[in-house]
Chains A and B, each alone.
Chain A
Amino acid sequence: MFGFRLQAERPPDPRPVSNGVVMRLDDVYEIDPDRMQIIAQQNMPVSDTLRIVDSRWEHLAWMHDHWADHVLSGEEEEQGE
């Protein structure tokens, strides 16, 4: 199918997370728009936001793989205590 539903591309309303930080999508933290009066925040479709988040995870996974074959876990060490 080509195209997308515009409604699905609009992020939900922001909810405050901490002082000066809001969240509209899970685990995507954004600066409170009230603090972006000099530099306006860019409106972005949900799919673009998720694409950037996914790219970030891919980048970090790539960097791990670039440097070593295995990434050891501190949580496993804690559980083994």
Chain B
Amino acid sequence: MSVAALSDSVVDELRAILGSDYVLTNKSSLFNRARVPAPFPVHRWDEHIADIAVLPETAEQVSEVVKLANAYKIPVVPRAGGTGLSDGAVPVTGGILVDVKRMNKILDIDLDDRTVTVQPGINMLKLNEELRRYGVIYPDDPASYPCSLVGGRIGTGGWSLIGARYGHTRDLVISMQVCLPTGELIEVGDGGGRKIRKSSTGFQLKQLFMGHQGSLGITTEATLELVPRPEAEFAAFFGYPDYETAYRSTGALSKSGLASLAGVVLFDEWKVNYLRRDDEAYIPQPRELRCVVAVAAYGTLAETKPASQVIMSIGKDTGGNYLGDEVSQGDWASRHDRYATPLHGRTPEGQVVPMSWHCEDAAITYSALPMVREEWHAIAKRYIDDYGVFDDWGMFAYTNGAHKPWGDYLVEIDIGIWEQRLDDAMWDAWVQCKREITEVSLKYGGSITACHGSTREGDAEFVPREMGGGFDVMKKIKRVLDPNNIMNPGKNQLDEAYED
């Protein structure tokens, strides 16, 4: 698909559906909707441009746009906040980009049944500002909390900083209205009731439309969980002299059984070195501090206060040194908004250069964390030494299971990439580095991605291997729901569904 491929009549039909102001063809509108914050082949920017961008306001407009696209076999790329760290919202075959930012209304607040129904373009921070007057919140809390949108969270199957207590996006969305690739609007949830949390009627379709990276449809409404606004927050950061002690302490804290425990995160030596270099909270820390474990708890005062005593006790009894309220409270508050972090890294000579931010986000079991850490850093070092445009910003391991935070972890290695120096050879090297990192995740029985999605080069080609026989089921579902492969083609290796 190219700009010329969209005929004037299609553009006219889109304008008739949406109004001329909301059909965008100018270069800046399209280029600004090309990439996401993750490292991007900037030297090939023009290969990731949609032919046209549209901004619907209603589900019915989305439906009409998708019906039109399906009739003409034009690719459709759904896009919400564009804050994802994989390529779900990145156009790879042109077509119509459906930007849902105007669909940002709260449709219903039900305090009796504890739900809020919204359009997909609303941001969680803005939603919670509205909900505060009712004493409730929607506790989906990514590191992009101030800028990501509900629709994107659903499309990526998002992970929440406080998921150990409240669950992740998949646990917090009760039901959805979805526009299928044929343009039909359907309701999916647990069974048929829009506000039912648990049902055994039929298939569990809700999860099918969670984390599909826009490949099965566009969420046009969502009914979300409301929980009591926390009375109390507690965050504690502990320092450790070595990784082994910090690792054991992480295990003890995550297995504490505290219901108010919202998350435990382990920062390794590379991460602390990076923070000591560039983060005001860590620069003055003593050299013997080599690893950090952070813990957060939320809830009523009656439960959080005694939980804080238990957390302090476990942290210290397992070798941790409390880093004080200023670091603990300040650093924790900043975790809700990591996209405000200035992104720079260092050349191998130590010079500061602007870098974008790759976050590998595998899901790894607790027992495999030490081995994965060693192997990932070794891979990163080789590429840093060989190419000079990468920087190792360290690793963290963050409790991953909703309500059961003890078994597996979201494990990130953050790698800075000096995009200005990218050319085909450098980009190919990066993709190869990604592949090696992914191989390690699979070797230890992990999953490629805990939250960002497997849509990038270096990830996507491993989806069939990770999914095994399930990938054939994915392909069959894709073909049935999207007979013309218009819905975000090129993602998750699902183009293979049409090769027979």
Q: How many residues of A contact B (CB 8 A)?
A: 30
Is A48 part of the binding interface, using a Cβ–Cβ cutoff of 8 Å?
Answer: no
Q: Is B11 on the interface with A (CB-CB < 8 A)?
A: no
For the complex formed, measure the closest distance between the CB of B343 and the CB atoms of chain A, giving whole angstroms.
12
A18 within 8 A of B: yes
Complexed CA–CA distance, A30 and B301 (Å): 39
Task: Out of A38, A70, A78, name the residue touching B233 (CB < 8 Å).
Answer: A70
Select which of B137, B233, B322 is within 8 A of A72 by beta carbon.
Answer: B233
Is the pair B334, A60 in contact by a Cβ cutoff of 8 Å?
A: yes
> Shortest CB–CB separation between residue B268 and chain A, in angstroms?
20
Q: How far is the CA of A69 from the CA of B129 in the complex (A)?
A: 14
| B76 to A: closest C-beta gap in Å | 35
- B352 contacts A38, C-beta separation under 8 Å: yes
Q: A36-B352, A38-B351, A75-B324 are in contact. Are A64 and B231 (CB under 8 A)?
A: no
Is A72 within 8 A of B234, CB to CB? Answer: yes
B309 at interface (Cβ–Cβ under 8 A)?
A: yes
Asked if A4 lies at the interface with its beta carbon under 8 angstroms from chain B, I say no
Task: Write the A9-51 contact mask toward B (1 if CB under 8 angstroms, else 0).
Answer: 0000000011011000001110100011111000000000000
Mark each residue of chain B from 278 to 310: 1 if its CB lies under 8 Å from any CB of chain A, else 0: 101001100000000000001001001100110
Q: Tell me whether B384 is interfacial, beta carbon within 8 Å.
A: no
Closest to B335 in A: A63
Least CB separation from B277: chain A residue: A20
* A-B contacts, CB under 8 A, total: 97
B201-249: which have CB < 8 Å to A? 229-236
B351–A64 touching, CB < 8 Å = no
Q: Is B337 an interface residue, CB under 8 A from the partner?
A: yes
Contact A36 B351 (CB under 8 A): yes
Given the known inter-chain contacts A63-B333, A68-B230, please indicate yes or no for A29 contacting B305, CB distance below 8 A: no
Contact present for A64 and B352 (CB under 8 Å): no
1/0 per residue, CB under 8 A from B, across A45-81: the answer is 0000000000000011101101111111111011000
With contact pairs A64-B329, A74-B308 given, residues A20 and B350 touching in the complex (Cβ less than 8 Å): yes
* Complex interface residues of chain B between 415 and 455 (CB less than 8 A to chain A): none
A63 nearest in chain B by CB position = B333
Contact partner, A73, options B231, B276, B325, B334, Cβ 8 Å? B325
Could you tell me if B333 and A68 are in contact, using CB atoms closer than 8 angstroms?
A: no
A74 touches B351 (CB 8 A): no
CA distance A67 to B132 in the complex (A): 9
Partner of A63, one of B234, B337, B351: B337
Do B351 and A72 have beta carbons less than 8 Å apart? no
Interface centre among A61, A66, A67, A70 (most CB of B within 10 A): A67
Chain B interface size range: 35 or more
> Does B344 sit at the interface, judged by CB under 8 A?
yes
Interface flag for B330 (CB, 8 Å): yes
Q: Are B298 and A27 in contact (CB under 8 A)?
A: no
Given A39-B353, A64-B333, A67-B298, A74 contacting B325 (CB threshold 8 A): yes
B329: which of A28, A29, A71 is its contact (CB, 8 Å)?
A71
CB contacts (< 8 Å) of A73 on chain B: these are 325
> Contact check: which of A21, A59, A70, A77 meets B232 at CB < 8 Å?
A70
Contacts of B277 in A (CB 8 A): 20-21
CA distance A25 to B234 in the complex (A): 30
Candidates A29, A60, A68; contact of B330 at CB < 8 Å: A60
Check A77 against B276 for contact (C-beta < 8 Å): no
Instruction: Say whether, besides A63-B336, A74-B325, A69 and B344 are in contact (CB < 8 Å).
Output: no
With A39-B352, A68-B233 known to touch, is A18 a contact of B325 (CB < 8 Å)?
no
Identity of the chain B residue whose Cβ is nearest the Cβ of A67 in the assembled complex: B233
Instruction: List B residues at the A interface (Cβ < 8 Å).
Output: 125, 128-129, 132, 137, 229-236, 276-278, 280, 283-284, 298, 301, 304-305, 308-309, 312, 322, 324-325, 328-330, 333-334, 336-337, 344, 346-347, 350-354
Q: 16 more A-B contacts (CB under 8 A) besides A20-B277, A29-B284, A31-B352?
A: A21-B277, A36-B351, A38-B351, A38-B352, A39-B344, A59-B337, A64-B233, A67-B298, A68-B230, A70-B232, A71-B235, A72-B234, A72-B304, A74-B312, A75-B322, A77-B312
Which 7 A-B residue pairings sit nearest by Cβ, starting from the closest?
Answer: A68-B233, A72-B234, A60-B333, A68-B230, A63-B333, A70-B232, A77-B312
A-B contact pairs, 8 of them (CB 8 A): A31-B278, A35-B350, A59-B333, A59-B337, A68-B229, A68-B233, A72-B232, A75-B325
